[in-house]
Each structure stands twice: as C-alpha cells, then as structure tokens.
Amino acid sequence: MKEAKEIGERLIKNKLAACINIFPIDSIYNWRKKIIRDKEFAAIIKTKKQNFKKIEKFILENHSYDTPCIVEIPLGRVNKKYLDWLNKNT
C-alpha cells in the first residue's frame, strides 16, 4: 500500500494523473516456475492517453517489482464534467 500511495502521489503532483484508486487484491500468479499466492494492491490511474508512456516509464523506474502489470484500458464514454476535470488536472 505504501508503495502504491507513493507512486500515486508523485503521478498526481507531476500532473501525469488526475486521480488514482488503490485497492487490495488477492493474487495468484506464476513466477520463476512457482505458483505464488500473494496480497497485492492494484491502482487505477485516471489520465489522458498521451500520458501512458510517461506513466509506464515512471512506474518501471520506481516500482519494486521486476515486472509490474501496466495495462491501458481504453475509455468508451465518459461524462463531460468528469472529462473536463481530468483534462484540467493532467
């Protein structure tokens, strides 16, 4: 949680993201030929499409994992007031 909050706050301060939601998850994954069960924290980073590469670079440089999951989820529709707020804050 601490690492997610630190990364999130720095993304917000640098205007790379307008909002970040962090939540706990139970993960099961294959790592170095072992099945791992772990408690992790996922973050939804709300930003503009053009910030993806900068955010990806920042996370790769600052995350403790060798291979953090960084995925773009394309927007369908978004209400205008929220989009205006997001654009103003990124």
Per-residue model confidence (pLDDT) at position 69: 96
Residue 74, Cβ density class (10 Å: 0-12 exposed, 13-18 middle, ≥19 buried): exposed
CB 42 within 8 A of CB 8: no
Q: Is the pLDDT assigned to residue 75 strictly greater than 90?
A: no
Q: What is the pLDDT of residues 29-65, one digit of tens each?
A: 999 999 999 999 999 999 999 999 999 999 999 999 9
CB 80 within 8 A of CB 61: no
Q: Is the pLDDT assigned to residue 9 strictly greater than 90?
A: yes
DSSP single-letter state for residue 74: -
Q: Which of 42, 49, 40, 51 is nearest to 12 (CA)?
A: 51
Write down the domain spans for the chain.
2-88
Q: Looking at the whole model, is its pTM more than 0.85?
A: yes
Q: Which CATH architecture has domain 2-88?
A: 2-Layer Sandwich (3.30)
